[in-house]
């Protein structure tokens, strides 16, 4: 094996926290569906990266690779200096479907990761009060107060998605993986949640990979946007978004922002028309 | 509005009562002989007359059903959890289970008699055999239909398969389990009665058979009424139990009320 060639501007780039190196992945009983082909990219610690691309190009698959839920058929994934060979144990995930447990109240849904993840699971009995306070504080940050004892079906879709977001963050995950978490929400709720997520990220600077089909969302939230080609997917373009933070509604109407979106759209169009 | 609501609440009583009234009227109007179809009043008369014999046999059938049902619950849950939690077991056991469930259990009773003799044991086993299947299927369904997203969330937290089963699979299968109890208890009861009619000398099934062989048709119908009433009561208890234990399913839409019959 040869060492991966460092990009020329590596002096300026912070060391990679997550790095995907020439990863390919086949699906299907006979491994005949090539979902990802020879994909490479990296994410720095605390970086906010968004992935966009045509439907079915392997975006969700990419998240599975990074979390170790799937292993690459060829190439490798490295997280924090270690090659990923089995599922990582401290990841936060949220999806388009909030996937809350309907028999648990909001608070108990939030406590789920702490009952599972090490070392918290062993301290859960002792530290329950402390964990509950932590969960309450997190709920307050996303604008959810007084719903602690409600069940998921007593919450609106937007509220459920907020709870789901909190659940993905409560245990201080190594990496946050978001798969179109705002895809099913109405425009206003979605924009509200962008700001919620941005504020949480500004405060805690976790490492995020956000899959989305909304270019505005990608540019608004991310430091870097990756564009994938249609299946078999690979990262064909990477755009650095250097807009000042915190970004707000006005940012979305600045010429620089619009230019970024237009640039991505061009590359997506390109990705869709060429295999 | 108020009247409609009252009608709605009273509707099961009204239909049941009308059913018996029609039956009574039909019998009287057309002078149906009581050895063909006794009027409900005649059946009721027989019920009162033979009550001491009826209730002893009814109790026997009830206990038989209960024992068979309890065994079915224990075995059915264990099998359902195993099959629901393991894709390998599911695949391995599937043909056997489907094949087994296709066998009419009446056909098994003679074999049971061969092994255990006439009496309570074949009835208990028959009740068990017909009742465990829907429980297993439902519990397995509840566990196996877990949202893939949830499984991903759990696994990426470092959860073991046992963790996932304990935190998500089992709680999620509870409403399926309770829904299946309603079906299972009725099936166990039917199984017990069938076995009694074929191979027993006690129980309500036996009573019915012996009454019909001596042409005491009103007594046959009295026994049928008792069977129906017992079935309704057991179902009602199971339904009450279900409502009490899984409040959350009444509102959470997708997974609930899909009890699979056996
Ligand atoms: N478990 C699987 N078995 C077989 N093929 C799969 C499996 N999961 C995904 N695929 C295929 O792999 C490709 C990539 O799927 P993936 O879910 O990663 O796409 P995606 O980019 O997330 O799509 P979308 O934007 O629609 O969510 C698709 O063509 C899909 O059909
Ligand atoms: Mg996807």
Q: What pLDDT score does A12 carry? A: 55
pLDDT in tens, A92-102: 999 999 999 99
| pLDDT surpassing 90 at residue A133 | yes
Residue B18 in contact with partner chain A when CB distance is under 8 A: no
Question: What one-character DSSP code corresponds to residue B245?
Answer: H
Among A77, A94, A98, A103, pick the best mutation site for testing chain B contact (most B Cβ within 10 A).
A103
A90 Cβ under 8 Å from any chain B Cβ: yes
Cα(B66)–Cα(B43) distance, integer angstroms: 27
Lowest mean pLDDT among A256-265, B161-170, B235-244: B235-244
Q: How far apart are CA A172 and CA A174, in angstroms?
A: 7
Q: Which ligand is nearest to the CA of A58?
A: 1
Which pLDDT score is estimated for B183? 92
Give residue-wise pLDDT tens across range A94-125: 999 999 999 999 999 999 999 999 888 888 88
User: Nearest ligand to the C-alpha of residue A54?
Assistant: 1
H/E run at residue A24: strand A16-27
Q: Is there a contact between B149 and A69 if contact means CB atoms under 8 Å apart?
A: no
Contacts of B158 in chain A (CB under 8 A): 87-90, 116-118
d(CA A210, CA A61): 13
Token readout for A43 is 């994410």
Segment B199-212 mean pLDDT: 88
Q: Which of B151, B153, B165, B248 to mutate to test the interface with A (most CBs of A within 10 A)?
A: B153
Q: Is A60 on the interface with B (CB under 8 A)?
A: no
For residue A76, the cross-strand partners are: A21
| pLDDT surpassing 50 at residue A91 | yes
Report yes or no: B141 and B177 within 8 Å, Cβ to Cβ: no
pLDDT at A234: 87
Going from the Cα of A58 to the center of ligand 2, the distance in angstroms, rounded, reads 7
Task: Please state the domain extents for chain A.
Answer: 14-90+175-275, 101-173
Percent of chain A with pLDDT over 70: 93
- Least trusted range by pLDDT, from A28-32, A39-43, A79-83, B68-72: A28-32
- Strands of the sheet with A91-95, listed across from one edge: A91-95, A175-179, A207-211, A48-52, A224-228, A235-240
- How many Cβ atoms are within 10 Å of B37's Cβ, its own excluded? 16
Strand partners, A78: A19, A83
Sign of CA dihedral A93, A98, A102, A108: positive
Give the pLDDT of residue B256. 39
Cα–Cα distance, A167 to A108 (Å, whole number): 10
pLDDT at position B198 is: 86
User: Look-up: residue for tokens 């608004």?
Assistant: A220
Q: Is the pLDDT of residue B258 over 90?
A: no
Three-point CA angle B249, B252, B257, nearest 5°: 50
What pLDDT is stored for residue B262 in this prediction? Answer: 39
At the topology level, CATH places domain A14-90+175-275 in Rossmann fold (3.40.50)
Q: Which value does ipTM take for this structure? A: 0.86
Q: Which residues of A touch B161 (CB under 8 A)?
A: none
Q: Give tens-digit pLDDT for A180-191.
A: 999 888 888 889
Do B156 and A171 make contact, defined as CB atoms within 8 angstroms?
no
3-state secondary structure of A227: strand
Q: Is residue A54 a contact partner of residue A268, using CB atoms and an 8 Å limit?
A: yes
Overall average pLDDT of the B32-60 stretch: 91
Helices B120-144, B109-116: axis angle to 10 degrees equals 130
- B236 versus A232: the higher-pLDDT residue is B236
Please list every protein residue whose CB sits less than 6 Å from any atom of ligand 1. Answer: A 27-28, 33, 35, 55-61, 231
Q: Considering the domain delimited by B39-261, tell me its CATH architecture.
A: Orthogonal Bundle (1.10)
DSSP notation for B119-138: SHHHHHHHHHHHHHHHHHHH
How many contacts does A have with B, using Cβ atoms within 8 A? 69
CA distance A86 to chain B (A): 10
- Find, in chain B, the residue whose alpha carbon is nearest to that of A154: B251
Q: For the segment B207-244, what is each residue's pLDDT rounded down to a tens digit?
A: 998 998 888 899 999 999 999 999 999 999 988 888 88
The residue with greater pLDDT, A212 or A56, is A212
For residue B255, is pLDDT > 50?
Answer: no
Residue A7 reports pLDDT greater than 80: no
Check if B249 contacts A (Cβ < 8 Å).
yes
pLDDT of residue A2 exceeding 50, the answer is: no
Phi-psi domain of B197 (left: phi exceeds 0; alpha: psi -120 through 50; beta: other):
alpha
For position B98, what pLDDT does the model report?
87
Ligand 1 atom with minimal separation from the A53 CA: 21
Average pLDDT for B233-260:
68
Taking CB atoms and an 8 Å cutoff, what residues of chain B touch A67?
Answer: 152, 156
In the sheet that holds A74-79, the strands lie side by side as A33-44, A16-27, A74-79, A82-83
Q: pLDDT, tens digit, for every residue of B88-126?
A: 998 999 899 889 888 888 888 989 999 998 889 999 999
Rounded distance between C-alpha atoms, residue B167 and residue A61, angstroms: 26
Q: What are the residue boundaries of the structural domains of chain B, listed by start?
A: 1-32, 39-261
Give the one of B152, B163, B248 whose C-beta lies nearest to A102's C-beta.
B248
Distance separating alpha carbons of residues A115 and A125, to the nearest angstrom: 9
Buried b (16+ CB within 10 A) or exposed e, B134-170: bbbbbbbbbbbebbebbbbbbbbbbbeeebbbebbbb
pLDDT of residue B249: 62
Q: How far is A259 from chain B (nearest CA, A)?
A: 35
Q: Give the three-state DSSP class for B149.
A: helix
Does A88 touch chain B if contact means CB atoms closer than 8 Å? yes
Which residues lie below 8 Å from residue A45, measured CB to CB, with a gap of 6+? A14, A15, A17, A207
Residue B154 predicted with pLDDT over 90:
yes
Q: Which residues contact B237 (CB under 8 A, 6 or more apart)?
A: B185
């Amino acid at each position: 094996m040869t060492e991966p060639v460092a990009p020329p501007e590596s002096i300026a780039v912070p060391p990679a926290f997550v790095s995907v190196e020439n990863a390919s992945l086949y699906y299907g009983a006979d491994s005949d569906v090539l979902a990802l082909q020879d994909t490479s990219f990296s994410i720095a610690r605390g970086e906010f990266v968004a992935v966009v691309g045509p439907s079915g190009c392997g975006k969700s698959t990419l998240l599975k690779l990074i979390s170790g839920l799937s292993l690459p058929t060829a190439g490798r994934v490295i997280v924090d200096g270690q090659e990923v060979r089995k599922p990582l144990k401290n990841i936060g995930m949220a999806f388009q479907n909030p996937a809350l447990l309907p028999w648990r109240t909001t608070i108990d849904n939030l406590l789920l990761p702490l009952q599972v993840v090490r070392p918290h699971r062993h301290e859960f009995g002792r530290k329950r009060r402390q964990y509950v306070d932590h969960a309450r504080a997190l709920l307050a940050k996303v604008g959810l107060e007084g719903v602690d004892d409600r069940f998921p079906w007593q919450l609106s879709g937007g509220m459920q998605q907020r709870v789901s977001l909190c659940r993905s963050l409560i245990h201080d995950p190594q990496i946050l993986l978001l798969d179109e978490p705002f895809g099913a929400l109405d425009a206003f709720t979605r924009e509200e949640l962008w700001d919620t997520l941005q504020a949480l990220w500004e405060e805690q600077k976790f490492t995020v990979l956000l899959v989305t089909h909304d270019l505005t969302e990608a540019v608004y939230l991310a430091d870097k946007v990756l564009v994938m080609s249609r299946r078999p997917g690979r990262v064909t373009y990477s755009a650095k978004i250097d807009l000042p933070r915190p970004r707000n509604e006005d940012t979305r109407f600045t010429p620089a922002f619009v230019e970024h979106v237009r640039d991505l759209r061009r590359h997506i169009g390109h990705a869709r028309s060429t295999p | 509005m108020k009247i409609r609501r009252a009608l709605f609440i009273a509707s099961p009583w009204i239909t049941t009562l009308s059913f018996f009234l029609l039956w009574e009227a039909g019998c009287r109007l057309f002078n149906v002989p009581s050895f063909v179809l006794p009027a409900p009043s005649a059946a009721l008369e027989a019920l009162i007359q033979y009550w001491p014999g009826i209730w002893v046999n009814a109790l026997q059938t009830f206990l038989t059903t209960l024992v068979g049902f309890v065994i079915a619950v224990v075995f059915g849950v264990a099998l359902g959890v195993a099959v629901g939690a393991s894709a390998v077991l599911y695949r391995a056991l599937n043909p056997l289970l489907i094949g087994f469930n296709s066998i009419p259990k009446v056909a098994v009773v003679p074999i049971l008699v061969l092994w255990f003799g006439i009496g309570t044991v074949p009835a208990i086993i028959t009740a068990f055999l017909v009742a465990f299947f829907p429980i297993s299927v439902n519990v397995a369904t509840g566990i196996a239909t877990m949202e893939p997203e949830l499984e991903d969330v759990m696994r990426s937290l470092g959860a073991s398969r046992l963790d996932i089963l304990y935190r998500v699979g089992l709680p999620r299968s509870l409403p399926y389990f309770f829904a299946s109890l309603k079906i299972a208890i009725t099936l166990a009861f039917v199984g017990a009665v069938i076995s009694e009619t074929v191979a027993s000398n006690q129980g309500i099934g036996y009573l019915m058979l012996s009454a019909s062989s001596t042409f005491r048709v009103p007594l046959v119908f009295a026994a049928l009424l008792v069977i129906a009433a017992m079935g309704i009561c057991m179902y009602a208890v199971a339904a009450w139990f279900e409502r009490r234990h899984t409040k959350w399913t009444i509102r959470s839409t997708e997974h609930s009320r899909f009890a699979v019959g056996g």
